[in-house]
Amino acid sequence: MNPLNLHDSYPCPVCRIGNTTPLPLMDAMACDFCSQIFTVDLEKQQIKMPARQPPLLWNWNGKHWQDAQLEGVELGWGYILAAIALVILPPTLIGLVIWIHPPVAHTPLFWLPYVWAGLGFLAHLGIIVWLVIEFYQFPLRLWFRSLPQQLRQR
Ligand SMILES: [Zn+2]
């Protein structure tokens, strides 16, 4: 167990690649890789990313950061179920229609419902992935750029 303090460096909870090191004379830390700045609450053993509203929080449990939270927002199962429903439902509905009224093969556009179901699935999945990336402010571009470096370390 190693309580959060302003002398050590910690793995960055945003990019998970860099280290956050304390900024001199401030209750704050900055990542040496993605340059995110965090404010530190030693009493709550918590850091906050003020760059976005509402701020994202991480709790230090002595070994690693616990899942990001939006300040004042609980991300519960309701959201996860809603996300799954959004991805699964539309293609399922289209699939059901195809199943009830199968398109006659070799007629013009008989493939369209199948492609439509696939596109519906991909589009909704894309929305969820984009929301998650947006929510965590995950620096996707930096992460891809650091891939060779990460692979070499393994
Ligand atoms: Zn970082």
Structure tokens at 126: 């894309």
In angstroms, what is the span from residue 147 Cα to ligand 1's centroid? 14
In angstroms, what is the span from residue 71 Cα to ligand 1's centroid? 20
- pLDDT tens for 19-71 read 999 998 889 999 998 888 999 999 999 999 887 777 888 999 999 898 777 77
In angstroms, what is the span from residue 137 Cα to ligand 1's centroid? 11
Q: What is the torsion angle, in degrees rounded to the nearest 10, for the CA atoms of residue 114, residue 120, residue 123 and residue 127?
A: -150
In angstroms, what is the span from residue 58 Cα to ligand 1's centroid? 13
DSSP 45: T
Pairing of strands 37-41, 10-11: unpaired
CB of 30 within 8 A of CB of 23? yes
In angstroms, what is the span from residue 126 Cα to ligand 1's centroid? 24
- pLDDT tens for 89-135 read 888 888 888 888 887 777 888 888 888 888 988 999 998 888 877 77
| Distance between CA atoms of residues 126 and 139, nearest Å | 17
> Domain spans of the chain?
10-70, 77-145
Pairing of strands 56-60, 46-49: antiparallel
In angstroms, what is the span from residue 143 Cα to ligand 1's centroid? 9
